[in-house]
């Protein structure tokens, strides 16, 4: 029996929503979804109001998702301009550097001026409404400013995580035909420099990139001397010197693209998840307010990188739409030491801290000392995102970090959902460690068996959503057929999440993890197919199969089976080289943890790799391999078991 943590009285008292209010809201959202979402849309300032709330079909033959589609608004206006009158001098972005001696507070008024200037520079460089701009940035205020500047002039941004390789960056520039890249000379993380501009230069030389790319705008960050290509590379500070600091907000249709964000799937290359202006922004603002019980003046910190959806929705768009004080952190949890997170909390008097289970587990391993060395009295609420949080880590977060005073919101959602879907509300929900608890008002989850039958009550099955919500992705950029196939072909009229899930007798949801070939490494999504195709691109490799296995800190680790080409010796040097190779091809987050030499891979007679068996061996659960009778050559399994690496 797992422990239940009832709603904390202090949380209930201050919260906007208690349990009765949650139940009433949920009921309303089910009975009258259009009325419910119309009311929520009142959170935003519209240049022209919408007349139609929803125009959605999840029918695979005519798939379209439109919300508020004749409404006109601008996301940057909603995140910046509309706050000037009431909170122009309030901090909007609180930035904490990798170096603890560096920080900066930017007010809404200053943000307005900096965003407008950058927007004017973008215009001067030829960016117009409807263009795509790629951002490859460190965690500095200019990352958020660049996103908002794009939104201001109606260009869709595509943020590529600064840890990705030049090849990964190049692929994403080409896929969405970006005209411009915004980057910095270098990034800084944990005291180490990240050569962002050099990576952009390398990306420029990849096939197809310069067919689209016209300019690179470079933020001076570490002041490293980087080469600048005449006519292509431009320093932001130079270009900004002579632009005006006002720039009108482009009126955007609610369904005009706001951004593209690439994420991994179970097959093929990463897909460009497209989010649009009205529905996405409304959903980010709505969920940010209710899940974090955000109230004026709260100091809110989401530790994610803006390269991920969490950074988009819960560092930039949700908080700023709500006029919040949002913190941006350039550094890492263990630099200069393992107290850093909590030192930052004390220094800035943070009230709400939203982080990932992998960070919590890494800190937990260092014991209570580094936590206890700090006060943390300002904390009121803790959050978790990205992967299932194991109950041990949950209890440590709750008892050691939060000293039993702070509810934990374990928020389940995806790049595709735009915002949080299943999560406790701090004043409403009794907590069960490891459960994301109940759906937010407006969200209708269901569990299905493999044949698509709906499971009622206590059950375990595949998690689907049965009705649209405004934050839903609209398409895969440039590949609508892939959108249909990935999410709407498994079950008729249902959005398939790719996650397995259990629902308990109280109606609480427990996410069990991906049921497809998507790995979750430290909360980062990685397709097994991506890692495999990187590996087979190496001259020594004939074939590769990649699976996940349980990893104490990362949640999942990357386990690789490699068949070498004839005549190639399996050596430790080659192992190291392959690890390096994958890092170079994709980025450090894709580094294989274990590489097993596999003379053969278990295949069916039709040549399909039986991943189920490879997964079991990687998990060290080889005693129960299930039915292996369809294998073409059962002997290869014995060899793989005998030489398994995770014992
Ligand atoms: O498997 C789920 C897991 O992360 C996947 C989505 O990954 P991504 O699009 O990168 O977005 C991560 C940030 C929202 C989901 O399909 N996941 C995310 N949050 C949770 C989770 N699994 C369990 N519990 C969570 N709170």
Q: Closest Cα to atom 5, ligand 1: which residue?
A: 414
pLDDT at 2: 65
Strands, DSSP E only, in 277-406?
A: 299-302, 325-329, 352-355, 381-385
User: Over 80: is that where the pLDDT of 1 sits?
Assistant: no
83 alpha carbon to ligand 1 midpoint, in Å?
A: 32
> Could you tell me the distance, in angstroms and rounded to a whole number, from the CA of residue 514 to the centre of ligand 1?
9
Which residue has the CA at smallest separation from atom 12 of ligand 1? 386
| Residue 216: DSSP 8-state | E
Determine the pLDDT at residue 633: 84
Is 644 annotated as ligand-binding?
A: no
Counting from 1 in the atom list of ligand 1, the atom nearest the Cα of 423 is 26
519: tokens are 């790995």
Quick check: CB of 98 below 6 Å from ligand 1?
Answer: no
413 CB near ligand 1 (under 6 Å): yes
Q: What is the CB neighbour count within 10 angstroms for residue 12?
A: 16
Q: Is 334 annotated as a binding residue?
A: yes
- For the chain, the residue count is 647
pLDDT of 302 > 60? The answer is: yes
Q: Is 172 annotated as a binding residue?
A: no
What is the distance, to the nearest Å, from the Cα of residue 529 to the centroid of all Cα atoms in its chain?
19
Q: Indicate the range of 150-154, 261-265, 375-379, 395-399 predicted with least confidence.
A: 261-265
Say yes or no: CB of residue 309 within 6 Å of ligand 1. yes
The reply to whether 583 sits in an annotated binding site is: yes
Cα–Cα distance, 69 to 85 (Å, whole number): 28
Taking residues 16-44, report their average pLDDT: 98
Q: Per the CATH hierarchy, to which homologous superfamily does domain 9-502 belong?
A: ANL, N-terminal domain (3.40.50.12780)
Q: pLDDT tens for residues 122-140?
A: 999 999 999 999 999 999 9
Span from the CA of 524 to the centroid of ligand 1 (angstroms) = 8
Q: Using most ligand atoms within 8 A of CB, pick from 520, 522, 555 the residue to mutate for ligand 1.
A: 520
pTM of the model: 0.96
Residue 191 annotated as lining a ligand binding site = yes
Q: What is the number of other CB atoms lying within 10 angstroms of the CB of residue 112?
A: 24
Terminal alpha carbon distance of the chain: 29
ipTM: 0.99
DSSP state at residue 436: -
Determine how many CB atoms are found less than 10 A away from the CB of residue 573: 9
pLDDT of residue 62 exceeding 50, the answer is yes
Cβ atoms of residues 405 and 379 within 8 Å: yes
Tell me how far the alpha carbon of residue 112 lies from the centroid of ligand 1, in angstroms: 33
Q: How far is the CA of 387 from the centre of ligand 1 (A)?
A: 5
- Residue 628 has a pLDDT of 79
Percent of the chain with pLDDT over 90: 94
Dump pLDDT digits (tens) for 225-248: 999 999 999 999 999 999 999 999
Element (H, E) at 597: strand 594-597
Q: Is 81 exposed, middle or buried (0-12, 13-18, 19+ CB in 10 A)?
A: buried
pLDDT tens for each residue of 562-571: 999 999 999 9
pLDDT tens digit string along 34-56?
999 999 999 999 999 999 999 99
Is the CB of 437 inside a 6 Å radius of any atom of ligand 1?
A: no
Q: What are phi and psi of 218, to 5 degrees?
A: -115, 125
Please check whether residue 504 is in contact with residue 458, taking contact to mean a CB–CB distance below 8 angstroms: yes
Contact 419, 318 (CB under 8 A): yes
- pLDDT band of residue 630 (cuts 50, 70, 90) is confident
Residue nearest (by alpha carbon) to ligand 1 atom 6: 414
Identify the residue whose C-alpha is closest to ligand 1 atom 22.
Answer: 387
Closest C-alpha residue for ligand 1 atom 25 = 412
Tell me the H-state helices in 431-515: 480-488
Paired strand residues for 235: 218
The tokens for 97 are 């550097």
Give the pLDDT score at 229: 98
436 lines ligand 1 (CB under 6 A): yes
Place of tokens 């950029």: 477
Residue 539 alpha carbon to ligand 1 centre in Å: 35
Cβ of residue 501 lying under 6 Å from some atom of ligand 1: no
Predicted confidence (pLDDT) at residue 623 exceeds the cutoff of 90:
no
Mutate to test the pocket of ligand 1, among 387, 443, 463, 509 (most ligand atoms within 8 A of CB): 387
Distance 499 CA to ligand 1 centre (A): 9
* 254: exposed, middle or buried (Cβ count in 10 Å: 0-12, 13-18, 19+): buried
Q: Is 337 annotated as a binding residue?
A: no
* Mean pLDDT, range 330-348, rounded to an integer: 97
67 carries a ligand binding annotation: no
595 vs 581: CA distance, rounded Å: 13
Ligand 1 proximity of 412 Cβ (cutoff 6 Å): yes
Is the distance from the beta carbon of residue 526 to the nearest atom of ligand 1 less than 6 Å?
A: no
Spell out the domain ranges in the chain: 9-502, 522-643
The pLDDT assigned to 267 comes to 80
Is the domain 522-643 a CATH 3.30.300.30 member?
Answer: yes
Cβ(402) – ligand 1 distance below 6 Å = no
Tell which atom from ligand 1 comes closest to the C-alpha of 513. 1
Q: Whose CA is nearest to atom 18 of ligand 1?
A: 386
């Amino acid at each position: 029996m797992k422990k239940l943590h009832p709603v904390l009285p202090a949380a209930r008292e201050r919260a906007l929503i208690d349990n009765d209010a949650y139940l009433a809201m949920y009921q309303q959202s089910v009975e009258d979804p259009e009325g419910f979402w119309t009311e929520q849309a009142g959170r935003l300032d519209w240049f022209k109001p919408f007349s139609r709330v929803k125009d959605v079909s999840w029918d695979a033959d005519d798939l379209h998702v439109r919300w508020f589609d004749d409404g006109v608004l601008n996301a940057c206006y909603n995140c910046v301009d509309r706050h000037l009158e009431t909170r122009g001098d309030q901090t909007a972005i609180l930035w904490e550097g990798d170096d603890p001696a560096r920080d900066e507070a930017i007010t809404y008024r200053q943000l307005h001026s900096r965003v407008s200037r950058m927007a004017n520079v973008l215009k001067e460089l030829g960016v117009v409404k409807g263009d795509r701009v790629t951002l490859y940035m460190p965690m500095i205020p200019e990352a958020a400013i660049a996103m908002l500047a794009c939104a201001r002039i109606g260009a869709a941004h595509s943020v590529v995580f600064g840890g990705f390789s030049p090849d990964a960056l190049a692929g994403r520039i080409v896929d969405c035909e970006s005209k411009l890249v915004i980057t910095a000379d270098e990034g800084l993380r944990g005291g180490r420099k990240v050569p962002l501009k050099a990576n952009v230069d390398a990306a420029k030389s990849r096939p197809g990139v310069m067919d689209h790319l016209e300019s690179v705008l470079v933020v001076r960050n570490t002041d490293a001397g980087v080469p600048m290509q005449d006519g292509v590379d431009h320093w932001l500070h130079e270009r900004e010197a002579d632009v005006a600091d006002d720039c009108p907000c482009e009126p955007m249709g609610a369904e005009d693209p706001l951004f593209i964000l690439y994420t991994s799937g179970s097959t093929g290359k990463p897909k460009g998840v497209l989010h649009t202006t009205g529905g996405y922004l409304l959903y980010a603002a709505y969920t940010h307010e209710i899940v974090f019980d955000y109230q004026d003046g709260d100091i809110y910190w989401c530790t994610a990188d803006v390269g991920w959806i969490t950074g988009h929705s819960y560092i930039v768009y949700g908080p700023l739409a709500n006029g919040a004080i949002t913190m941006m952190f350039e550094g890492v949890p263990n630099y200069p030491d393992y107290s850093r997170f909590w030192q930052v909390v004390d220094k800035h008097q943070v009230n709400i801290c939203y982080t990932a289970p992998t960070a919590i587990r890494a800190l937990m391993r260092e014991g209570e000392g580094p936590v206890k060395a700090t006060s943390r009295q300002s904390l009121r609420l803790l959050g978790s995102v990205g992967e299932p949080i194991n109950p041990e880590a949950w209890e440590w977060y709750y008892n050691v970090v939060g000293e039993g005073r702070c509810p934990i919101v374990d928020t389940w959602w995806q790049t595709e959902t735009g915002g949080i879907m299943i999560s406790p509300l701090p004043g409403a929900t009794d907590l069960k460690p490891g459960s994301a608890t109940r759906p937010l008002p407006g969200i209708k989850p269901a569990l299905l068996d493999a044949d698509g039958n709906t499971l009622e009550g206590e059950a375990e099955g595949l998690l689907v959503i049965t009705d649209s919500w405004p934050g839903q992705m609209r398409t895969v950029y440039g590949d609508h057929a892939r959108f249909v196939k990935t999410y709407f072909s498994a079950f008729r009229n249902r959005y398939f999440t790719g996650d397995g899930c259990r629902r308990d007798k109280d109606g609480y949801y427990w996410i069990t993890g991906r049921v497809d070939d998507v790995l979750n490494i430290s909360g980062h999504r990685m397709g097994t197919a991506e890692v495999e195709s990187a590996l087979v691109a190496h001259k020594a490799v004939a074939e590769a199969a990649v699976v996940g296995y349980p990893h104490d800190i990362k949640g999942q680790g990357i386990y690789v089976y490699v068949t070498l080409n004839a005549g190639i010796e399996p050596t430790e040097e080659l192992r190291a080289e392959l690890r390096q190779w994958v890092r170079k091809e994709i980025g450090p987050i894709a580094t294989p943890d274990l590489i097993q030499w596999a003379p053969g891979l278990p295949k069916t007679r039709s040549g399909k790799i039986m991943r189920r068996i490879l997964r079991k061996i990687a998990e060290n659960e080889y005693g129960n391999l299930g039915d292996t009778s369809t294998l073409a050559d059962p002997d290869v399994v014995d060899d793989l078991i005998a030489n398994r690496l995770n014992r």
